Amino acid sequence: MSTMTSDWLERVGSFRSCPSKFLSETNPEVFLTELLRELRDDRASYSVKMVLLSPLCEYPTLLCLSDPAGEETALDLMSVFAQCPPASTQFRCQLLVALTCVLISSSCVRIRSRASLDFLGLVFQVVRDTSDISRNGPQRSLRATACDCLRELEDCCPSLLTQHLELLGGLRQQETSGLHQAYVGLHTVVLRNAVYRLSQEPGAGAEHLKALLGGTTSADQDSFQTEGKDSAGLGSLILGPMGSVPTLHTGADCKELKSILSSLLEESYLLTPLYQVVLLHRLTEVVAMVPGVPPAILRAQLLRLLGTSEVCLFHVALLMKGAFTDSLFSAEDEAFVLKRLVVLSQHPVLSTPEKLFYMDCILHFPENRPISCGDSDEALPVLLTPQLAAALLPTLFNDGATLLARLRLLSLVYLEEGEVGGRGLAYLYDQLMSLLRVVESGGNREIVVTFFRAAFLFLLSFSHVEQFCSGMSRQLCQLYLQHPQLAPHLINMANQTQERLSESSWASGLLRGLQKAITEVPPAQLTLQALGWHLKVLARVAEEAEIGQRSSLNFLSSVIASSSLSVGGNWRLGNCVLGVCRCVLLHPTLDSLLIPLADILQHLSCYHGDTDIQDHARLYYSLLTTLSQEKLVAMLAQGSTTGGHQVKKRMLSCLMAESEGLTSMLTAHQTSQPILRLTEAPQQLELKQNCDPQGTEVDKASETYRAQFSDPHFASEIPLKYQLTHTEGSDPRFDQIFSIRLHFSLTDRHYEQLEDMSVPCLFRERPPPIVKLRLKPRQPYPTTLHISAIFTTRDGFSWHTELPDVHVAFQQVFLPLPAPPNWAPGSRLKVFQELWDEICSEAGDGAVSLFCCQLRGPSLKALLKEHLLPFLLSDPSGEEEFRVLVFLPPQNHVLLKIRAEEDAVHFNMASDNWQLLPHVNSYLLTVTSDRQLLALF
């Protein structure tokens, strides 16, 4: 493999693995240009070219940044296609795919651009060319791909191909090879979209439909339909029994449509299952839209679909049922389908994901006469009796996902039954307890998580069934004592139950049980590790107002007094103990706990081996002994305060126990939306001539000029001025803000990292402060800066906020020639000429190019004056030729010779960095197009 090849494979590989990173290091336009150049290169092999197309097939919008760019790229690709020998079929197929992707995503197809119409013509040609029948060649796969491209075009831009409906129908019928599937797919989607479009037209009826199918619609329309107003036709029209489908009233007279539908249905068997479902679904939509066609036309397919082992085929039958309810499925059929679903949900030969999907279908079963009002909530079908559902009872042999899905389904069944003492519910509870036993005997993490989810699911449905819930609580406490490392799971479960079942007292019952279990453990049996978990649980228990804390405190004092546990100098454990104490300080029954708590705190502050713990304990002790409970609570309560309590919040940060809350209290707050922004400061008209006409002529202008760059800092920065202002939002909290620290982060690697900047203050009513950025380019490309700020408000809060991105345009990087100010214009022109000659002669990175546009004499001067004056070297009042030199740090130049010729103005450009030329080009395009417009008026 040549180095070029491996280089390209590597580049495309790194682009695909992380496009944003790749593009931050290079310029998307340049990358695209190089890709296209390589695609045209005859030396590159087609297998490499296949790889080169993949970025365009996957990320066209990242490479073609604008619609015109998409158009250009498509034209380029089409010329590659035209030159590609027919034998390289795979590459040609991939080209068609790339073209489809580029044209659709750049919305060229939507606006029917020239390239997209050319492409449609090209693809149609391939699709119609059936000469390969005799040759039996690889051309077929090209036709298959072309059909799929047309299908995708029609899918993305509905009714694009309506005018070709009859032609496509003919091609479909003609094709007898395996390719006919591709034609069926194409014909079906065009048919469906055409019918949909008709259904949207007021007054359309049987005659219109007939004309459409016969290809005799009025010829004045464009060959490719322009797009309808809405994109509603994009989505599925089958929304279940409650969705409404647009209808086309034809009366019973739609023979032609019926015969097309029957012939498509007859052939459906010949399609792959994956494509059969597309066909059947599209036809379902058509039948649903045209009441003149009875749904019974689909009936012959049903048995085959309901008996299948393919999940998608069965599913399409279910969707048909949703669309047609009892006009296609009798009550008996309905019972059969549901029974079949239950069978499929546990059939031993099916895969787990399929079975779970079928179970989901049971929960959203399309009933003929639904009782609920069609919201997306799960509802059990009436016909699903507990007896039928019993086939789906969970067992320990199920994998986690299946067990949970079955448990949920059966919970719904028994909940609906309302039978509390039933055997079904008892069975579910037994299974839960067996699972608990598995956890007890050392089940792995997956089983543990499954168990807690199952237990929580059970609680959600049956928290009112006392016997089971209290039993579960007891079992969980026992489980905890054997496996204290389950503490986070139990705390999580208590939290979630409290949140979801606010009226139930189960969680506090569980916590009470845990407290009892922990405090009754003799200290001699405690291990250090278990103790850590116990303290975490006790801290959570102490948050419950109605649970007495005396036993917890007794436990704490026995723990810290115990010599067998080396709590003595252990900071972590000390902190856990303090964590419990802190929660107890907030407990409403604190008054009665004063003495034991004070004892513990005093013991810690005197005897604990860690100074930090001692200090903390001493602080808590003094708070406890000096403050009234009311004040204590007000000081320690966290989180719940809002609005006017900010000062308190700030003080509290130092009174926190070691907990996750600590960090969140100390960090800056995040604003919900941007409140600051940087806008370009208005340019002060710099009338100062950029050179002195009386300056000195220099002999070796070019050499002197270059010598300046021996200082690496010379002319390496671009000063940009911005104003820092408030955004439109009017939150009065931010009217006056202070100590603003702006942080800039780059989105690419073309610039050196910017340093943070400080702005002392920003008041809404005062003039905005000016922020001077000094950008230091490595490559002078346009860029975008992410900006964030940290600041303080009057009430002393710290805030962090994101500012809207600042875009640095290409022309903002322009600097005048950095020649010494005392140089005469002639010397500058000398530098220009020498640079120009050098670029034209060298084969290095330099390049020349020409840009032309229509501009009248005065507008050219106005343009120069407005945009290029600081860079103009020749006399602005001159007539012949204007010379412009733009310097781009660190050491790039763009030179322009502008001359008004007879027909147009020629911008001859040269640059010592060829990668700048696309930017110059688009810059000139922008500035001159403004002018041209103006010239028109």
Footprint of another protein on 347-386 (CB under 8 A):
347-354, 356-357, 360-361, 363-365, 375-376, 378, 386
CB closer to another protein out of 346 and 557: 346
Cβ–Cβ under 8 Å, residues 248 and 205: yes
Cβ–Cβ under 8 Å, residues 831 and 703: no
Residues of this chain, 277-316, that bind another protein according to CB under 8 A: 277-278, 281, 303-304, 306-316
Residues of this chain, 475-504, that bind another protein according to CB under 8 A: 485, 488-489, 492-493, 496
CB closer to another protein out of 92 and 587: 92
By the rule CB under 8 A, 434 interacts with another protein:
yes
By the rule CB under 8 A, 449 interacts with another protein:
yes
Cβ-in-10-Å burial (0-12, 13-18, 19+) of 141 comes to middle
By the rule CB under 8 A, 903 interacts with another protein:
no
By the rule CB under 8 A, 262 interacts with another protein:
no
Minimum gap (Å) between residue 583 Cβ and another protein: 20
For residues 94 and 57, give the distance between their C-alpha atoms in angstroms, rounded to a whole number.
Answer: 8
- Three-class HEC string of 101-156: HHHHHCCCCCCCCHHHHHHHHHHHHHHHCCCHHHHCCCHHHHHHHHHHHHHHHHHH
What number of other Cβ atoms are within 10 A of residue 633's Cβ?
A: 15
**What secondary structure does DSSP assign to 843-873, as a single string?**
-SS-EEEEEEE---HHHHHHHIIIIIGGGB-
Identify the residue among 34, 67, 152, 752 touching another protein (CB under 8 A).
152
Minimum gap (Å) between residue 416 Cβ and another protein: 15
What number of other Cβ atoms are within 10 A of residue 422's Cβ?
A: 13
CB closer to another protein out of 424 and 889: 424
Q: From residue 471, how far is each of 387, 407, 456, 475, 536 by CA, in Å?
A: 26, 18, 14, 6, 24
By the rule CB under 8 A, 149 interacts with another protein:
yes
Q: From residue 84, how far is each of 37, 127, 504 by CA, in Å?
A: 14, 18, 73
C-alpha torsion 706→709→711→717, nearest 10: 150
Minimum gap (Å) between residue 220 Cβ and another protein: 29
C-alpha torsion 249→254→260→263, nearest 10: 120
By the rule CB under 8 A, 588 interacts with another protein:
no
Identify the residue among 114, 423, 645, 807 touching another protein (CB under 8 A).
423
3-state secondary structure of 908: strand
CB closer to another protein out of 18 and 252: 18
3-state secondary structure of 724: strand
By the rule CB under 8 A, 663 interacts with another protein:
no
The enclosing H or E element of 600 equals helix 590-607
By the rule CB under 8 A, 269 interacts with another protein:
yes
CB closer to another protein out of 132 and 930: 132
Cβ–Cβ under 8 Å, residues 803 and 678: yes
3-state secondary structure of 163: helix
Minimum gap (Å) between residue 573 Cβ and another protein: 19
Length of the chain: 937
Mask: binding to another protein, 111-140, rule CB under 8 A, as x and -?
A: ----------------------x--xxx-x
CB closer to another protein out of 385 and 667: 385
Minimum gap (Å) between residue 67 Cβ and another protein: 13
Q: From residue 804, how far is each of 582, 675, 681, 727, 750 by CA, in Å?
A: 42, 9, 16, 10, 20
Q: Is the dihedral of CA 360, 361, 362, 363 positive or negative?
A: positive
Mask: binding to another protein, 44-73, rule CB under 8 A, as x and -?
A: ------x---x--xxxxx------------
Q: Tell me the window of 220-228, 265-273, 534-542, 552-560 that interacts with another protein (CB under 8 A).
A: 265-273
What number of other Cβ atoms are within 10 A of residue 230's Cβ?
A: 9
CB closer to another protein out of 90 and 558: 90
The rounded radius of gyration (Å) of the Cα atoms in the chain is 38
CB closer to another protein out of 70 and 777: 70
By the rule CB under 8 A, 343 interacts with another protein:
yes
The enclosing H or E element of 785 equals strand 783-793
Q: How many CA atoms lie within 13 A of 757 on its CB side?
A: 18
Residues of this chain, 170-209, that bind another protein according to CB under 8 A: 175-182, 185
By the rule CB under 8 A, 618 interacts with another protein:
no
By the rule CB under 8 A, 270 interacts with another protein:
yes
Identify the residue among 442, 569, 639, 729 touching another protein (CB under 8 A).
442
3-state secondary structure of 706: helix
Cβ-in-10-Å burial (0-12, 13-18, 19+) of 844 comes to exposed
**CB-based contacts of 448: which residues, under 8 Å, 6+ apart?**
439, 486, 489
CB closer to another protein out of 234 and 545: 234
**What secondary structure does DSSP assign to 491-520, as a single string?**
HHHHHHHHHH-TT--HHHHHHHHHHHHHHT
Minimum gap (Å) between residue 395 Cβ and another protein: 5
Residues of this chain, 390-409, that bind another protein according to CB under 8 A: 390-391, 393-397, 401, 404-405, 408
CB closer to another protein out of 276 and 508: 276
Identify the residue among 84, 297, 383, 388 touching another protein (CB under 8 A).
388
By the rule CB under 8 A, 463 interacts with another protein:
no
728 Cα distance to chain centroid: 27
Cβ–Cβ under 8 Å, residues 557 and 596: yes
Identify the residue among 29, 76, 148, 154 touching another protein (CB under 8 A).
148
Picking from 342, 347, 346, 348, the residue whose alpha carbon sits closest to that of residue 363 is: 342
For residues 487 and 796, give the distance between their C-alpha atoms in angstroms, rounded to a whole number.
Answer: 38
CB closer to another protein out of 457 and 720: 457
Residues of this chain, 218-257, that bind another protein according to CB under 8 A: 231, 234-236, 239-240
* Residue 892 DSSP label: E
E runs forming strands in 819-932: 847-853, 881-888, 892-900, 905-911
By the rule CB under 8 A, 4 interacts with another protein:
no
3-state secondary structure of 367: coil
Minimum gap (Å) between residue 208 Cβ and another protein: 26
By the rule CB under 8 A, 104 interacts with another protein:
yes
* Residue 711 DSSP label: S
By the rule CB under 8 A, 431 interacts with another protein:
yes
By the rule CB under 8 A, 790 interacts with another protein:
no
Q: Tell me the window of 73-81, 90-98, 211-219, 599-607 that interacts with another protein (CB under 8 A).
A: 90-98
By the rule CB under 8 A, 420 interacts with another protein:
no
By the rule CB under 8 A, 416 interacts with another protein:
no
Q: Is the dihedral of CA 869, 875, 879, 880 positive or negative?
A: negative
Minimum gap (Å) between residue 579 Cβ and another protein: 18
Minimum gap (Å) between residue 632 Cβ and another protein: 30
Minimum gap (Å) between residue 607 Cβ and another protein: 32
How many positions of this chain bind another protein (CB under 8 A)? 143
CB closer to another protein out of 93 and 542: 93
The enclosing H or E element of 929 equals helix 917-936
Minimum gap (Å) between residue 238 Cβ and another protein: 8
Identify the residue among 441, 684, 694, 710 touching another protein (CB under 8 A).
441
Identify the residue among 48, 160, 209, 271 touching another protein (CB under 8 A).
271
Identify the residue among 52, 318, 720, 839 touching another protein (CB under 8 A).
318
Identify the residue among 74, 195, 342, 895 touching another protein (CB under 8 A).
342
CB closer to another protein out of 374 and 804: 374
CB closer to another protein out of 212 and 538: 538
